[in-house]
A and B are shown apart, each in its own frame.
Chain A
Amino acid sequence: QQQVKQSPQSLIVQKGGISIINCAYENTAFDYFPWYQQFPGKGPALLIAIRPDVSEKKEGRFTISFNKSAKQFSLHIMDSQPGDSATYFCAAKFNQFYFGTGTSLTVIP
């Protein structure tokens, strides 16, 4: 069964808008929550990550919000740009990595 549930499957945002991707998990043993970005023809690359003892982490235009009690975390992309168009995967780690099903983001100029 899917250990990490990700939504939406696809997302279209206007340039300058905010992109929000959500993930939920059940296993409270997860201790690390990364987001990976994948461009066509390339492997995923680490974008940003958070640990469960932190509620928010920001790196440039990218922010992770983490809600431990709700077992949910989300990626916010501020001022979305066409170059952000890619597939985004959330993940959670406990011994091994469990990935979400991915969100295809398209940013329209």
Chain B
Amino acid sequence: KAGVTQTPRYLIKTRGQQVTLSCSPISGHRSVSWYQQTPGQGLQFLFEYFSETQRNKGNFPGRFSGRQFSNSRSEMNVSTLELGDSALYLCASRPQSTNEKLFFGSGTQLSVL
């Protein structure tokens, strides 16, 4: 079974631009969550989607948004990029929201210049 796939692997953007990251969960997994990983801050929860509905949202500004499609694939969008948005963005999937084991992708490394 293929793991969680995130694309692209690396992104370089400039301040003010917007960016869209993609995540394909493990086949059969319906829950997808997103995390921002920065040195010293660990993993910060962004949001979780289940069956195309946002279930939970972390404490991030409205510039961060996401969506999930009917095939469980998910996208995350960041508008008006700031230097502080530079981070590794991780996607994790699990079969249901009640399952406790997260399966992470390798992430998208975003650099904002």
In the complex, the answer to whether A43 meets B56 with C-beta atoms within 8 Å is: no
Residues of A within 8 A of B58 (CB): 96
| Segment of A14-22, A61-69, A73-81, A98-106 engaged in the interface with chain B | A98-106
Answer yes or no: A89 CB below 8 A from chain B CBs: yes
Interface size on A, residues (CB 8 A): 24
In the complex, the answer to whether B106 meets A49 with C-beta atoms within 8 Å is: no
CB contact under 8 A between A44 and B104, given known A6-B42, A89-B42, A101-B40: yes
CB contact under 8 A between A45 and B104, given known A95-B56, A96-B56, A96-B58: yes
Count class of interface residues, chain B: 20 to 34
Please report the C-alpha to C-alpha distance between residue A32 and residue B102 in the assembled complex, in whole angstroms.
12
| Chief secondary structure at chain A's binding surface | strand
In the complex, the answer to whether B48 meets A99 with C-beta atoms within 8 Å is: no
Interface positions of A from 36 to 85, Cβ below 8 Å from B: 36, 41-46, 49
Give residues in B with beta carbon < 8 Å to A.
4, 33, 35, 40-45, 48, 56, 58, 90, 92, 100-102, 104-107
